[in-house]
A and B are shown apart, each in its own frame.
Chain A
Amino acid sequence: MDRKVVVPGDLLSEDAKRSGEGTFVKDGRVYSLLYGLANYRDKINVIPLAGKYIPAPGDNVIGVVKDITFSNWIVDINSPYDGLLHISEFPKRIESDEMSKYLRIGSSIMTRVKDVDPTKKVELTLNDRKLGLIKTGQVVEISHTRVPRLIGKGGSMISMLKKEVNCNIFVGQNGRIWVNGGAEDMDLALRTITLIEKEAHTNGLTDRIVDFLKREKGARS
């Protein structure tokens, strides 16, 4: 794969049509907007090495309720912008004065970004079977820039991981990951996730992770 480190303002291509994410076009040339890794495919994308999570519609995220208003739960989603979960987006009809019975301040939830308006008002929803309150398991936080690597191409990494460690895993695009399973399995899963975060920018990562899991399991039995 053709990748290299770029800094903001680096010239990436003379062909304006190849401008992808993290790039901009000036005078028909493509330049980098970010400090990160440039990926040369059909389009040139620059993947940042750092940065804050900015919500986009359809993202699955893990949030923590930080306040309750008349009809909304205000949810911290590890972003400069707070999420609003309206009472009507709860899977069941509930009254305004009973909101804290279902989700209290401090409750962790798996949720989805329903809509983001131009002023970055973030609306969340819980209307899906896989979404809802987190009651068991553990949540780890990694940089959101590493999430695509954890999921892998077409979900290859995450499905391999789920199978190998025998755990339920929910990946939030905001870098929070929920893991649920047996104590030993969960421990291995968390260690693997930290390893993936640390080595996210290296090549041939999936193979190395498979080896790592094999070794760890061999040591256990």
Chain B
Amino acid sequence: MDETDISFFKDGFRLDGRRADQLRPVKIEVGVLARADGSCYIEMGGNKVIAAVYGPREVHPRHLQEVTRAIVRYRYNMASFSVEERKRPGPDRRSYELSKVSREALEPVILTTYFPRSVIDVFVEVLQADAGTRTAGINAAAVALADAGIPMKSMISSCAAGKVADTIVLDPMKEEDNFGQADLPIAMTPGGEITLMQMDGGLTREEFHQAVEMAMKGARDIYEIQRNALVDKYSQLEAPAEEVKACE
């Protein structure tokens, strides 16, 4: 094919030095916002995303209220400075769509019937974008929901696979996303139940299966990181208690 394809790989490694089936480095911090009921900050490669969860709380406006269950609101928003060319602030077609699919990716695991007539608000702010912000947002939101003490049947982890230069790659970064041939983000439970799947570009049947397998493996790895972040927050809390003991 043309020249741009050749530059995607150098000696079998990608532009940023990764193998085809390798994730970008992921960093998760839990409970970063004091005034939110649950919060999470995530870095997935160049993506920097913060998620805040409020609720269950009273629904406003009232007509959205459901008598038998809690409603879930998910707002995905990109900061104007999150991309190279300033993004016009405020919701647009893309962010409406991402809000909807992300909400539907998380809703199946939340026990909304525990909190009738209430709302669980999830706010996801993209501070810096580098392809795969929806997956980063969902990962952060799932951790923030757990941190808020909201009952869930399981966690949700999300990861994308793509196709560049006729090769299936995990977790495409910006160059691969912009000039690649396909992008396939998924979200799933650690048990392998898929709650979100989108695709743009084209894949053959075999490539599709390969890409889904790869994205699911990536999501499982991310689940471990999410889990560790949550468990670590607790062990941090335990440390000061031991210091008090040592002083005596």
Query: Which A residues contact B (CB, under 8 angstroms)?
Result: 5, 7-9, 22, 24, 26, 31, 33-37, 48-52, 54, 80-81, 118-120, 145, 198-199, 201-202, 208, 211
Contacts and interface: CB of A to CB of B under 8 A. Distances in A.
A149 to B, nearest CB: 13
B56 interface: yes
Nearest to B238: A202
Contacts of B248: 211
Interface in B177-192: 189-191
Contacts of B151: 8, 22, 33-34
Nearest to A36: B149
Contact of B154 (A8, A36, A50, A80): A8
B127 interface: no
A120 B234 contact: no
B118 interface: yes
A26 B189 CA distance: 14
B203 interface: no
12 contacts: A5-B231, A5-B234, A7-B146, A7-B231, A9-B153, A35-B149, A50-B38, A54-B114, A80-B56, A80-B118, A120-B117, A208-B245
Contacts of B37: 50-52
Nearest to A26: B153
B153 A31 contact: yes
Contacts of A26: 153
Given A52-B55, A201-B238, A31 B154 contact: yes
A34 B149 contact: yes
A202 B241 contact: yes
Contacts of B234: 5, 37, 49, 201
Nearest to B31: A50
A201 B68 CA distance: 33
Interface in B35-83: 37-38, 55-58, 67-68
Contact of B148 (A5, A51, A199): A51
Contacts of A211: 248
A208 B151 CA distance: 32
Q: Among B38, B118, B241, which residue has the most Cβ atoms of chain A within 10 A?
A: B241
A5 B57 contact: no
B82 to A, nearest CB: 29
Contacts of B150: 51
Interface string B14-34: 000000000000000000000
A35 B230 contact: yes
B149 A8 contact: no
A57 to B, nearest CB: 16
Contacts of A36: 149
A22 B226 CA distance: 20
Nearest to B111: A33
Given A8-B152, A52-B56, A202-B238, A119 B146 contact: no
B146 A8 contact: yes
B115 A50 contact: no
A34 B235 CA distance: 17
B116 A118 contact: yes
Contacts of A37: 234
